[in-house]
């Protein structure tokens, strides 16, 4: 029987009588991955985490999350296709009434596997690319996967799935943004997510190498806009500007403990997939606590929920309902204090640090890129 995480009433730390349920359950099925991307968002110390949850434990998590009210389920990783039980989990999730989404590098999505996942009821696929050229795609992932990804994109369309292509942008591939859009159109993607790298996880280690120039961003945004005008709704283009180039932070996670319930491969429940790296959080394990209890009462999910935790300048800022003070992980990485105002915000006393990082990155480009690897992850910790 799952125990209680603390004795505060539901809603404690949220400033209201009840905590609305999560919308999304993010099932990070495994940190294992055949790729070695330099901007991977998995924690850098993933290799020293505990054993993966079993099929039965995942099914139990899904049942509880659905009973709590979660409606959408993302299967991600690492590479979720490395789990042999993915079909079984998808079937169970559909039976529970979740809308299911597979977030994949494509490695392992053979036509036979795609058929089985279709039969199991998978609703939607998000496929990642690293670039529109074989050279850069294969270099940045440290694998020969470019052709395979093209084939997988065709397989996805043959199975009538709506397809999101996702390409993380940075200074190496920003000049290719037009070609990336052409590739997405050729592959018949319904949606192309052009998400500039955000600097945490492995991208934090490679920040100086990945950071674009303002000029590159301006040009890429203009290219995206001109394509938008030409293609209308044929393929929706989302261009996410990197935080460091903004004056206000993003509403990270749409607010802590508000929409997303992430479960890590080893069963730790997290309000953000990077929360493992934040100090002072007791992350609850799904084997020890029920999902409703975790969501409503746990210290970790209440730590930055709502506004009670905020300090100045956020506490009295009239924009706090819009961005919730920005990203806790970014605040911690840049200031050492997870409760600080995100330094991306021009009102933060630490904002000058961001301005200086953007200005001086080109001078530090000689630092070698760090590819995600088990060996490097183990060395970190
Ligand atoms: Fe957002 Fe805080 Fe900046 Fe206000 S001070 S805009 S709430 S980050
Ligand atoms: Fe963790 Fe933003 S990435 S709160």
pLDDT at 16 over 80: no
**311 domain residue, yes or no:** no
367 token code pair: 């630092």
**328 domain residue, yes or no:** no
In testing the pocket of ligand 1, which one of 247, 249, 314, 335 has its CB within 8 Å of the most ligand atoms?
314
Q: Looking at ligand 2, which atom is closest to the CA of residue 274?
A: 1
**299 domain residue, yes or no:** no
**314 domain residue, yes or no:** no
**Looking at the chain, how many residues does it have?**
381
For residue 113, count CB atoms less than 10 angstroms from its CB and return exposed for 0-12, middle for 13-18, buried for 19 or more. Answer: middle
Separation between Cα atoms, residue 248 and residue 124, nearest integer Å: 32
Percent of residues, the chain, with pLDDT higher than 70: 96
Task: Check residue 17 and give its pLDDT.
Answer: 52
159-203 pLDDT, tens digit per residue, is: 999 999 999 999 999 999 999 999 999 999 999 999 999 998 899
**48 domain residue, yes or no:** yes
CA pseudo-torsion sign 367, 368, 372, 373? negative
pLDDT at 9 over 80: no
How far, in Å, is the centroid of ligand 2 from the Cα of 274?
Answer: 6
CATH number (domain holding residue 49): 3.20.20.70
Q: Looking at ligand 2, which atom is closest to the CA of residue 330?
A: 2
Least confident of 74-78, 162-166, 199-203, 223-227: 199-203
332-369 pLDDT, tens digit per residue, is: 999 999 999 999 999 999 999 999 999 998 888 888 88
290-310 pLDDT, tens digit per residue, is: 999 999 999 999 999 999 999
Could you tell me the residue range of the domain that residue 90 belongs to? 24-245
pLDDT at 7 over 50: no
How far, in Å, is the centroid of ligand 1 from the Cα of 317?
Answer: 6
248-291 pLDDT, tens digit per residue, is: 999 999 999 999 999 999 999 999 999 998 999 999 999 999 99
How far, in Å, is the centroid of ligand 1 from the Cα of 284?
Answer: 29
- Rounded to an integer, the average pLDDT of 84-100 is 98
In testing the pocket of ligand 2, which one of 281, 310, 330, 345 has its CB within 8 Å of the most ligand atoms?
330
**300 domain residue, yes or no:** no
Task: Check residue 74 and give its pLDDT.
Answer: 98
Residues annotated within the binding site for [4Fe-4S] cluster are 33, 37, 40
Q: Looking at ligand 1, which atom is closest to the CA of residue 249?
A: 8
**172 domain residue, yes or no:** yes
pLDDT at 381 over 80: no
Residues annotated within the binding site are 33, 37, 40
Residue with tokens 């999902």: 291
**70 domain residue, yes or no:** yes
Task: Check residue 110 and give its pLDDT.
Answer: 96
Give residues with Cβ within 8 angstroms of 183, minimum separation 6. 129, 132, 165
Q: Which residues line ligand 2 (CB under 6 A)?
A: 200, 252-253, 272, 274, 327-329
Give residues with Cβ within 8 angstroms of 267, minimum separation 6. 50, 53, 57, 285, 286, 287
Q: How many domains does the chain have?
A: 1
Task: Check residue 5 and give its pLDDT.
Answer: 53
Residue whose CA is closest, atom 2 of ligand 1?
314
Band (pLDDT 50/70/90 cuts) for residue 95 is very high
Separation between Cα atoms, residue 186 and residue 192, nearest integer Å: 12
Residue whose CA is closest, atom 3 of ligand 2?
329
């Amino acid at each position: 029987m799952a125990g209680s995480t603390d004795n505060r009433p539901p809603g404690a730390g949220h400033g209201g009588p009840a905590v609305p349920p999560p919308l999304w359950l993010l099932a990070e099925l495994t940190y294992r991955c055949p790729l070695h991307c330099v901007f991977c968002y998995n924690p850098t110390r993933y290799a020293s985490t505990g054993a993966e949850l079993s099929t039965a434990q995942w099914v139990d998590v899904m049942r509880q999350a659905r009973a709590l009210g979660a409606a959408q389920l993302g299967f991600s990783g690492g590479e979720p296709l490395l789990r042999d039980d993915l079909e079984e989990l998808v079937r169970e999730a559909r039976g529970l009434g979740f809308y299911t989404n597979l977030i994949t590098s494509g490695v392992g999505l053979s036509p036979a596997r795609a058929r089985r996942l279709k039969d199991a009821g998978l609703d939607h696929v998000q496929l990642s690319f690293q670039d529109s050229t074989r050279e850069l795609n294969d270099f940045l992932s440290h694998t020969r996967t470019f052709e395979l990804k093209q084939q997988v994109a065709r397989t996805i369309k043959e199975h009538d799935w709506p397809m999101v292509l996702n390409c993380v942008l940075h200074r190496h591939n920003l000049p290719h943004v037009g070609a990336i859009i052409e590739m997405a159109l050729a592959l018949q993607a319904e949606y192309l997510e052009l998400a500039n790298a955000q600097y945490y996880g492995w991208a934090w280690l490679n920040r100086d190498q990945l950071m674009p120039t303002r000029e590159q961003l301006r040009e890429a945004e203009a290219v995206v806009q001109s394509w938008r005008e030409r293609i209308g709704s044929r393929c929706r283009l989302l261009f996410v500007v990197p935080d460091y180039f903004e004056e206000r932070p993003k509403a990270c996670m749409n607010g802590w403990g508000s929409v997303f319930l992430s479960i890590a491969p080893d069963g730790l429940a997290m309000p953000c997939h990077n929360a493992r790296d934040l100090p002072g959080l007791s992350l609850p394990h799904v084997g020890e606590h029920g999902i409703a209890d975790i969501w409503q009462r746990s210290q970790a999910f209440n730590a930055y929920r709502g506004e009670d935790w905020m300090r100045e300048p956020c506490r009295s800022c009239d924009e706090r309902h819009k961005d919730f003070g920005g990203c806790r992980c970014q605040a911690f990485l840049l200031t050492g204090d997870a409760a600080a105002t995100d330094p991306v915000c021009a009102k933060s006393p630490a904002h000058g640090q961001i301005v200086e990082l953007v200005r001086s990155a080109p001078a530090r480009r000689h630092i070698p890129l760090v590819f995600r690897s088990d060996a490097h992850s183990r060395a970190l910790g």
